[in-house]
Amino acid sequence: MGNLLVTGGAGFVGSALVRQLIGETDWTVVNVDSLTYAGSLESLEGLRNHSRHVFERVDVRDFGELKRLFRDYRPDSVLHLAAETHVDRSIADPAPFIETNVVGTANLLGAALAYWNMLDSRAQSRFRLLHVSTDEVYGDLGADDPPFSETTPCAPNSPYAASKAAADHLVRAWHRTYGLPVLITRCCNNYGPWQVPEKLIPLMVANAVSGSSLPVYGTGANVREWVHVDDHCRALRRVLEAGRPGRIYNVGGQAELTNLAIVEAICAILDRQLPRAKGSYAEFVQFVADRPGHDRRYAVDDARIRDELGWQHLEQFDVALEETVQWYLAHPQWLEPAARLKVASYAGER
């Protein structure tokens, strides 16, 4: 095994991926992250001095630094996870999403292509660049629509989703025009430990235990599909290992639930694990004005990754959600930033 370059490796999904790669493979991981509000070295506990983990505080918007990373570490492959990801933030200020998700991806592609062109034919044939995208690029579904497939046209509805769709198109173009061996994954909503406390599940836990309201957009009827972050990371590793260059792979968890059902499930878990003196945490649910352009439903058909690559999700949602809530209860310091986010006006979902 050689070197893997992972961008966004101090974020929620990125750190889970880095922990897996260090714990379960022989790869050396060059972890590239700019440590914005969404990145934290806390999520890399025990790895900061590991011999196969190298951390570089670099922003993907810095083309010169990206070229240096390729020159210094000569990675065998790249997993690109660095991105701005929160829809509410993209609605409030789209600029950082365009700068990081679009310009940053273009920078990475440019640096990767220059590096790839310098490799010998054997190294070129092994090299892969895996771009991690989202099911939100497809738009949304009606209640009775079939799930998104990899051939569903992109129809993004938020600045975040549009920026990720733009990045996807750039990645595809670098493959078709220059021959760069790329892969794209589009995953549904993730859950698990170490998620930024403004996202739905940790936000609801943080608000509930502090006695604050649990804000739910509209009627809470919007549907999302969920997969555990560890299953997602196993999918990324499998696509990197055996995926066909130029192809897109959807990653799902076969757990479709309304936002309200998720919040109610969290409340039920908290009622068991940390019961209130009187009443249920569900009493804190508060319906708030809906998000502009709020997508109704996401669901993906992940038959391609299952049939072609043999991947399947391992975590069962009910069990893993309970374990996730328990993790947040055991790590109250991780939830403290939620108090500074002033989140009463939105519902924390992706």
pLDDT tens track for 115-144 = 999 999 999 999 999 999 999 999 999 999
Q: pTM value?
A: 0.95
Cα–chain center distance at 118: 31
CATH code for position 76: 3.40.50.720
Range of the domain at 103: 3-191+227-251
Q: What is the pLDDT of residues 33-69, one digit of tens each?
A: 999 988 889 999 889 889 999 999 999 999 999 999 9
59 is catalytic: no
pLDDT of residue 347: 46
Kindly state whether residue 210 falls inside one of the protein's structural domains: no
pLDDT of residue 159: 96
DSSP state of 281: G
Report which residue type is found at 5.
L
Whether the per-residue pLDDT at 80 is higher than 80: the answer is yes
Average pLDDT of span 73-86:
96
Kindly state whether residue 144 falls inside one of the protein's structural domains: yes
Number of domains in the chain: 1
Residue 70 is encoded by which pair of tokens? 């390729």
Cα–chain center distance at 295: 18
Residue 141 is encoded by which pair of tokens? 């579904």
Pick the catalytic residue from 73, 160, 281, 298: 160
Kindly state whether residue 244 falls inside one of the protein's structural domains: yes
Kindly state whether residue 341 falls inside one of the protein's structural domains: no
Pick the catalytic residue from 136, 168, 198, 225: 136
Q: Which residue has the tokens 């109610």?
A: 264
Kindly state whether residue 161 falls inside one of the protein's structural domains: yes
More confident residue, 337 or 35: 35
Kindly state whether residue 164 falls inside one of the protein's structural domains: yes
Q: How far is CA 4 from CA 40, 161, 186, 239, 319, in A?
A: 20, 27, 20, 14, 32
DSSP state of 151: T
Q: What is the pLDDT of residues 156-215, one digit of tens each?
A: 999 999 999 999 999 999 999 999 999 999 999 999 999 998 899 999 999 999 999 999
Kindly state whether residue 185 falls inside one of the protein's structural domains: yes
Kindly state whether residue 312 falls inside one of the protein's structural domains: no
Mean of all residue pLDDT scores within the chain: 94
37 is catalytic: no
pLDDT of residue 349: 54
Pick the catalytic residue from 76, 84, 135, 168: 135
